[in-house]
Amino acid sequence: MPLIVQFTAGADHRCASELEALVRSALLNHPFLSITVKLPAHLQVNVAICREQSTAIRFDTYPTHGDVTLTIFEFHLFKIKDGGSVIALDDAPLDDRLINLLFHEFGHFIDARLDASFGYKDSLHPDDPRVKGFVDDLWNASIDGRLKDKAPHTLAERQSDAQEEGGIPADAIARAWEGEWRTYPDLVRVAESLRSTNDQ
């Protein structure tokens, strides 16, 4: 299967080849793949190691262009010791949970583009940025709950992140984690109702 991994930024990074191997491994061994949910015959992953504080998958160019873009915040590559700083990146080893982060990011792509039962459509994106934020928090918890020991975060971490960002109750994050809502339209519906509860 032609799986092309190419760097659009960071090709000369000292960890680029290790990262490339992990990207391949995370896709080829992804726990969301099954008899019915399969990788496409051709897929190109554009990887960018960046200094902006965000790690994310962009899949809106798939399937039209047959590619996805994975942006990785350089800090997320490494296991940072307590009190660690960017300076520690010079010799810090790769985080042994980096593969879990990749499983999570590709989980978004597989849900949205390869698993028809997830019911994702770009047109379902909520216009209200707060509702969109809630959907993302619920989706993150849903992915990590399904990844189980391959998840980058624990339920408690997802709950405190969601609390900080938008104020989703811990209970709703737990229900998403447990798999109560299994489709994108479900997540949007729950996010909208959380938003209207928040307004009251």
Work out how close the CB of 38 gets to Zn ion at its nearest, in angstroms, rounded to a whole number.
22
State the alpha helices, DSSP H only, in the chain.
16-28, 98-109, 129-147, 155-165, 170-177, 184-199
Q: CB of residue 90 vs Zn ion: minimum separation in angstroms?
A: 28
Largest Cα–Cα distance of the chain, in whole Å? Answer: 52
Q: What is the DSSP string of 29-58?
A: T-TT--SSS---SSEEEEEEEESSS--EEE
* Residue with Cβ nearer Zn ion (140 or 159): 140
55 binds Zn ion, rule: CB under 5 A: no
Give the nearer residue to Zn ion in terms of CB position, either 46 or 140: 140
Q: How far is the CB of 176 from Zn ion (least distance, A)?
A: 12
Site string for Zn ion, 118-157 (x = CB under 5 A): ----------------------x-----------------
Q: Are strands 43-50 and 3-9 parallel, antiparallel or unpaired?
A: parallel
Residues near Zn ion, by CB under 5 A: 140
